[in-house]
Homo-oligomer: A and B are copies of this chain.
Amino acid sequence: MADFVFVLKNVLVVSLAMNMCLIWKISVVDVETLAFRWSSWMNMQQKKLHFHGVCFNGDKDDIREKDAHVSTRTQILATTSSGASPDGAKTVVINLDHGDPTMYENFWKQKRAETTVVTPSWYHISYFSDIKNICWFLEPGLMSAITRLHKVVGNAVTEDRHFVVGTGSSQLYQAALYAVSPHNASGPMNVVSAAPFYSSYPLMTDYLKSGLHKWAGDANEFNKQEPYIELVTSPNNPDGFTRQNVVKGDKGILIHDLAYYWPQYTPILVPADYDIMLFTVSKSTGHAGSRIGWALVKDGEIAKKMTTFIEINTIGVSKDSQIRAAKILQAISDSCDHANQTNADTFFDYSYKLMAQRWKQIREAVNKTELFSLPNFPPETCSFSGRNFGQLPAFAWLKCEGEVDDCEKFLRRNKILTRGGKHFGASMKYVRISMLSREHEFKLLTQRLPAITS
């Protein structure tokens, strides 16, 4: 009997332990589910999703615009937490509004020692990085890493240029506007870009109602005999095409946004050689969270004024992120230099192959239906990789064919969140879809697009 009781007690203990484990597991799952449901519910109840000052009315499928573009940050959680279960594939909201470059995460997970940064607490405490440089808050190591990477890739001239680092290229865009706009003019300087243009340009130009500069719309339609700043994004955001300036006039100042002039997105043809060129790690290496961009500037006075803007705006740029970006850029250059000695893919090999695969998949998905179309790009030979290919843009500029007039709304009904053409100064028949998401979100997109019926 005593033995039996002993055995029974043991079984009971084991059983209780199992129960505890199960209860714990269930509650963890429930907390996660609840967190998501609470978040979605809260936002639906509030009937607005706030981002860039835009209110998104969940019930009425109607957008009350204040600014340039819509975001739906809550619903990012949807695809992030979804997995790709058969049910989830149909009901989950896919948020491809932002160009959040999470697609490169898996590559970086394979890289450890050579790209990990260790920062003791007494490192780079000062405001200053290099007081002999015009841009006194630029870390010399980042400047070297940028110079080297441009040489390795061959996508920009760095000789005789001044370097300015920014908290992302957004800040550098604003710094460039500040630098080239006359400060004693009678009115603000016109700022134009050919439609479809990056949706944030109008907002970044006008949000402070500056007396220095004002958004003047589509560069193709600009015909005032006044000074102007023309923004040239090449490859272009949203549509991926290579661009040149379009305004015919001699009073223009050009700012070239080259965020996507990297060999995973476009064949590199020549080293870019413009007066003001903007780049960012967000799109080149995928480290958007670090908020690091850089400008290559011919004119020392413009570089000084850009530096002044960043001094006043944020008293410099995070040194922690500059050091991290430097290490990552150096590791990419190292891997390119040693590519023949190792069998491992370099970052640009990996990212090119992934972009090429995604573009193949989205074209296949779109070709299964007559509802949508995508732009086509003629192949050219990349001087960096030697590959012959057409553009592989970071965004798909999708057109709703036929009778659908508001493509963003149409896709939203099908639980795909995109950014509509009107935010880019273009027709509402177009939407911009991020190609840079994590794999499971992209997979859901290519499953869902061909299944949509009009």
A interface residues with partner B (beta carbon < 8 Å): 35, 39, 50-53, 67, 73-74, 76-77, 98, 100-102, 104-106, 108-109, 111-112, 115-122, 124-129, 131-132, 134, 136, 167-168, 170-171, 174, 178, 183, 200, 203-204, 207-212, 282, 286-292, 304-305, 308-309, 311-321, 324, 327-328, 331
- Is A308 a contact partner of B52 (Cβ separation < 8 A)? yes
Q: Which interface residue of A108, A309, A315 has the most chain B CB atoms within 10 A?
A: A315
Contact of A102 among B109, B119, B125 (CB under 8 A): B125
- Is A136 a contact partner of B73 (Cβ separation < 8 A)? yes
A-B contact pairs, 11 of them (CB 8 A): A39-B131, A51-B136, A52-B311, A76-B131, A106-B122, A116-B119, A116-B120, A168-B315, A209-B210, A209-B211, A318-B320
Please measure, in the bound complex, the distance between the C-alpha atom of A67 and the C-alpha atom of B109, giving whole angstroms.
Answer: 47
Known: A313-B170, A316-B291, A318-B318. A73 touches B131 (CB 8 A): yes
Please measure, in the bound complex, the distance between the C-alpha atom of A51 and the C-alpha atom of B309, giving whole angstroms.
Answer: 10
Known: A121-B328, A313-B170. A320 touches B290 (CB 8 A): yes
Contact of A211 among B35, B76, B131, B210 (CB under 8 A): B210
Min Cβ gap A145→B in Å is 13
Please measure, in the bound complex, the distance between the C-alpha atom of A53 and the C-alpha atom of B168, giving whole angstroms.
Answer: 22
- Is A314 a contact partner of B170 (Cβ separation < 8 A)? yes
List of B residues within 8 angstroms of A203 by Cβ? 312
List of B residues within 8 angstroms of A116 by Cβ? 118-121
Please measure, in the bound complex, the distance between the C-alpha atom of A282 and the C-alpha atom of B312, giving whole angstroms.
Answer: 16
Given contacts A53-B305, A100-B128, A320-B321, 4 further A-B contacts (CB under 8 A): A35-B132, A51-B308, A116-B120, A126-B289
Contact of A100 among B53, B104, B127, B314 (CB under 8 A): B127
* Copies assembled: 2
- Is A200 a contact partner of B312 (Cβ separation < 8 A)? yes
Residue of B nearest to A114 (CB): B121
Please measure, in the bound complex, the distance between the C-alpha atom of A170 and the C-alpha atom of B137, giving whole angstroms.
Answer: 16
- Is A127 a contact partner of B312 (Cβ separation < 8 A)? no
Known: A111-B121, A315-B291. A208 touches B178 (CB 8 A): yes
Residue of B nearest to A200 (CB): B312
- Is A170 a contact partner of B51 (Cβ separation < 8 A)? no
- Is B76 a contact partner of A128 (Cβ separation < 8 A)? yes
Please measure, in the bound complex, the distance between the C-alpha atom of A315 and the C-alpha atom of B293, giving whole angstroms.
Answer: 12
- Is B125 a contact partner of A50 (Cβ separation < 8 A)? no
Q: Which interface residue of A73, A286, A291 has the most chain B CB atoms within 10 A?
A: A291
Known: A118-B117, A126-B102. A312 touches B73 (CB 8 A): no
List of B residues within 8 angstroms of A102 by Cβ? 125-126
- Is B288 a contact partner of A317 (Cβ separation < 8 A)? no
List of B residues within 8 angstroms of A128 by Cβ? 73, 76, 100
Residue of B nearest to A134 (CB): B50
Please measure, in the bound complex, the distance between the C-alpha atom of A134 and the C-alpha atom of B46, giving whole angstroms.
Answer: 13
List of B residues within 8 angstroms of A309 by Cβ? 207
Q: Which interface residue of A122, A207, A328 has the most chain B CB atoms within 10 A?
A: A122
List of B residues within 8 angstroms of A124 by Cβ? 289-290
Please measure, in the bound complex, the distance between the C-alpha atom of A6 and the C-alpha atom of B313, giving whole angstroms.
Answer: 70
- Is B313 a contact partner of A51 (Cβ separation < 8 A)? no
